[in-house]
Amino acid sequence: MRRFILEGLIGRALTETAPGPDAEALEQIAASLSARARKRLGRSLAIRQVDAGSCNGCELEINALSNPYYDLERFGLHFVASPRHADVLMVTGPVTRNMAEALQRTYNAMPAPKWVITVGDCALDGGCFAGSYAITGGVSDVVPVDIHVPGCPPEPVKLLSALCAMIAGN
Amino acid sequence: MSRPPKLLWTRSRDFRALPFQVSDVPPAGWTALGTLLAEGKITLLGLWAEAPGVAMALYDPATRRVAVTRVRSRRGAVPSIGASHPPAQRLERAAADLTGLRFENAPDPRPWLDHGRWDIAHPLAGGAPHPGQPPYAFLPVKGESLHQVPVGPVHAGTIEPGHFRFTAQGETVVRLEERLGYVHKGIERLMQGADLARGAELAGRVSGDSTVAYAWAFAQAAEAALEIEVPARAFFLRGIMAELERLANHLGDFGAICNDAAFSMMLAQASVLREEVLRAASDCFGHRFMRDRIVPGGVTADLSAEGASRLRALLDRIRDRFPVLVDLYDNTASLLDRTVGTGWLSPTLAGQFGAGGFVGRASGRDYDTRRDLRYAPYDMVQVEVAGRKEGDVNARVWIRIKEVEHSLGLITQMLNTLPAGPILAEPVSLGETRSGLGLVEGFRGDILAWLSLDADGRIARCHMRDPSWFQWPLLEAVIEGNIIADFPLCNKSFNCSYSGHDL
Ligand code: SF4
């Protein structure tokens, strides 16, 4: 245990330098976030993640955001357990029919103002699962979407810059 | 009772190179096989609907051979295997949902994957408009001072959705009932009529954490069906990718299990190592999870000389850092206090369900596809299989630790003997219907892929069975008598796949 503490004190931090906000995401967010809303949120956002039928690949990369390399919390971003504490809903998966209601209800449980960010190709329009009887066809068919992060799955750095775009500009 | 039918039992090296010969049996023989399974003489590898009936893959541990057998349905029904052998029950419920087949004498006829929310019913059998469905009937509970805690489908963390219904007496769980199917994407139907490339894409997205193992199992099935000769280098590259995938998952889960026992520092430390594996994978093969790198016929990404030394450096780094973490685990009494004796899985249940991976191996089930149903390149390297008998969370953690060490050794061996040459052979359709079987040891256990191709080389039926099918039911047994607060710990020590199960 002592070794870890010492290393932590004298070692070099692993954390990546912060990526710039993703230009495309910045544009998307500028359109949906009014200056007033941004002011109210300050530089801190609480995120509630919902898997609406992903293959679990996107979850792995979202979880990676909390490892010491990406260290999401240094940006004032953190994941919360309850939708009632959340500003942002982060959704993965093509929204299976079996999950659509749960997704809708999670969204409804969030206080306004609120935003939705979709992660991964299949969250956009079903991706490689498009056309299946078991999916609705994408997150925007169920809840309004503000930002989309493409990739299968998107790399953590991409996720990070999209999230940075959400808090940038204040 | 009738005698068990004669089946064609096939050795690993034969079914990996050739199309699979299915043994057709009459209904009486099918029932007799159920009895044989119940007696524990053979192990169930999978059960799925395939016109004109139901098929089953079986493993004989004594001879290390595999058989695939099929029974025809009569008036839309087949005898239930689940009636005598519980591990088949959920597979039968799923098959009934997807095709409308009835399983005679099935002890639990409730739907499983079908929540009554699809437009169509029985999607694999044409799919008529869905007639709707009454609300799901959870098992009734009777007794004094019991209370129920429903959890999910949306959970508190960034994890997959599923519903757990706990019945507790005070703090103690007296029953857990799982309800799954929330992430059912209809992959098996999407597979129908697809070509091999599309099939491989979908297979790699059944369970993201096992994308390499799934793509490999699918490729194996296709290669056996079409008798494709895969170049030797491709086998080794597949092996390296699969062991990297195992490393990343075991490292990540090791930290996550400790985190669920409130020891968050281990999560931070282990997730650093996990991240480094993923970065190396990305540098060497162009994708952090090495997705879409394995295709029928070989692999699509070669390993350069720099890549190989990048991997060696990664192995050195893990060899240096990981033992320190293991020491810390083993010397932290507050952590062991949570993991030792918690979530006990009996060897009997592990054997009955044919539990794969660390779940089975921590409860005395000595099975590993890489050794017992060998496939290249594991027939050309030294494979060690970890085993323990205690069956608690701690034992499962230790199996993971040992497997990290073994994977490091395997990658080194493969790098040392990596043959030169091409990495891909083009699959050619042979103009006739063919079937093949793939079986790959993913990090979670054995993944089965069954593939039937039509004369044009298109997919007539593809069934992929995740190891979680035989682990999820055991989690229900394991939590009994534990406190609810230990559920996350037990659950994480299993880490079953929702997506792999729901498909
Ligand atoms: S985008 Fe890709 S990785 Fe993400 S959930 Fe969909 S299939 Fe999986």
- Global ipTM: 0.94
Which of A1, A99, A132 lies nearest to residue B161, judging by beta carbons? A99
Instruction: Evaluate whether B446 touches B356 at the Cβ level (below 8 Å).
Output: yes
Chain A residues in contact with B126 by the CB 8 A cut-off are none
Question: Looking at the structure, do residues B109 and B212 belong to the same domain, yes or no?
Answer: no
Among B266, B205, B211, B270, CA closest to B244 = B211
Asked if residue A135 belongs to a domain, the reply is yes
Using DSSP bridges, classify how beta strands B102-104 and B77-79 pair: parallel, antiparallel or unpaired.
Answer: parallel
The full length of chain A comes to 170
Asked if residue A11 belongs to a domain, the reply is no
Asked if residue A14 belongs to a domain, the reply is no
User: Are A129 and B186 in contact (CB < 8 Å)?
Assistant: yes
For every residue of B467-499, which 3-state class applies, written as one string? Answer: HHHHCHHHHHHHHCCCEHHHHHHHHHHHCCCHH
User: Are B268 and A68 in contact (CB < 8 Å)?
Assistant: yes
Q: Which tokens belong to A90?
A: 């982060």
Report B:315-354 residues touching A (Cβ under 8 A). 324, 328, 332
Number of domains in chain A: 1
Question: Is some CB atom of chain B closer than 8 A to the CB atom of A32?
Answer: no
User: Are B115 and A56 in contact (CB < 8 Å)?
Assistant: no
Structural domain ending residue among the three candidates B113, B132, B166:
B113
Mutate to test the pocket of ligand 1, among A54, A117, A135, A139 (most ligand atoms within 8 A of CB): A54
Q: How far is A141 from chain B (nearest CA, A)?
A: 16
Q: Contacts by B302-307 with C-beta closer than 8 Å and gap 24+?
A: B302/B233, B302/B237, B302/B423, B303/B237, B303/B240, B303/B418, B307/B283
Asked if residue B308 belongs to a domain, the reply is yes
Asked if residue A75 belongs to a domain, the reply is yes
Query: For position A123, which CATH number holds?
Result: 3.40.50.12280
Helix (H, G, I), strand (E, B) or coil at A148: strand
Asked if residue B375 belongs to a domain, the reply is yes
The pLDDT of residue B4 is 84
Asked if residue A105 belongs to a domain, the reply is yes
Query: For position B45, which CATH number holds?
Result: 3.30.460.80
The stretch A93-112 carries a mean pLDDT of 95
Q: Is A93 in the pocket of ligand 1 (CB under 6 A)?
A: yes
Residue B328 φ/ψ, nearest 5 degrees = -60, -45
Asked if residue B150 belongs to a domain, the reply is no
What CA–CA distance (Å, rounded) separates A87 from A117? 11
Report A:127-166 residues touching B (Cβ under 8 A). 128-129, 131-135, 152-153, 155
Rounded to the nearest angstrom, the distance between the alpha carbon of B390 and the centre of ligand 1 is 37
Helices A57-64 and A156-167, packing angle to 10 deg: 60
Q: What is the pLDDT of residues B178-187, one digit of tens each?
A: 999 999 999 9
Asked if residue B442 belongs to a domain, the reply is yes
What CA–CA distance (Å, rounded) separates A133 from B189? 9
Domain that holds residue A125: 21-35+42-168
Chain A residues in contact with B499 by the CB 8 A cut-off are 53-56
Chain B residues in contact with A102 by the CB 8 A cut-off are 153-154, 161, 182
Number of domains in chain B: 2
Structural domain ending residue among the three candidates B55, B83, B113:
B113
Give, for all 503 residues of chain B, the pLDDT tens digit.
Answer: 567 889 999 999 899 989 999 999 999 999 999 999 999 999 999 999 998 999 999 999 999 999 999 999 999 999 999 999 999 999 999 999 999 999 999 999 999 999 999 999 999 998 899 998 999 999 998 888 899 999 989 988 888 999 999 999 999 999 999 999 999 999 999 999 999 999 999 999 999 999 999 999 999 999 999 999 999 999 999 999 999 999 999 999 999 999 999 899 999 999 999 999 999 999 999 999 999 999 999 999 999 999 999 999 999 999 999 999 999 999 999 999 999 999 999 999 999 999 999 999 999 999 999 999 999 999 999 999 999 999 999 999 999 999 999 999 999 999 999 999 999 998 887 889 999 999 999 999 999 999 999 999 999 999 999 999 999 999 999 999 999 999 999 999 999 999 999 99
Among B53, B63, B57, B61, CA closest to B99 = B53
Among B475, B480, B476, B477, CA closest to B492 = B475
Question: Looking at the structure, do residues B106 and B237 belong to the same domain, yes or no?
Answer: no
Asked if residue A6 belongs to a domain, the reply is no
Domain that holds residue B329: 206-465
Asked if residue A8 belongs to a domain, the reply is no
Please, which residues bridge with residue B438 across strands?
A: B449
Helix (H), strand (E) at residue B459: strand B459-465
Question: Looking at the structure, do residues B271 and B413 belong to the same domain, yes or no?
Answer: yes
Instruction: Evaluate whether A98 touches B183 at the Cβ level (below 8 Å).
Output: yes
Burial of A12 (0-12, 13-18, 19+ CB in 10 A): exposed
Q: Closest residue of A to B329, CA-based? A: A1
User: Are B208 and A59 in contact (CB < 8 Å)?
Assistant: yes
Structural domain ending residue among the three candidates B94, B113, B132:
B113
pTM score over 0.90: yes
Q: Which amino acid belongs to residue B383?
A: V
Among B348, B281, B290, B349, CA closest to B314 = B281
Burial of B97 (0-12, 13-18, 19+ CB in 10 A): buried
Question: Is some CB atom of chain B closer than 8 A to the CB atom of A13?
Answer: no
Gyration radius of chain A over CA positions: 17
Asked if residue A10 belongs to a domain, the reply is no
The pLDDT of residue A40 is 59
Please report the DSSP string for B386-436 in residue order.
---S--SHHHHHHHHHHHHHHHHHHHHHHHHH---S--B------SS-EEE
Among B267, B390, B388, CA closest to B335 = B267
What CA–CA distance (Å, rounded) separates B289 from B30? 40
Residue B453 φ/ψ, nearest 5 degrees = -110, 145
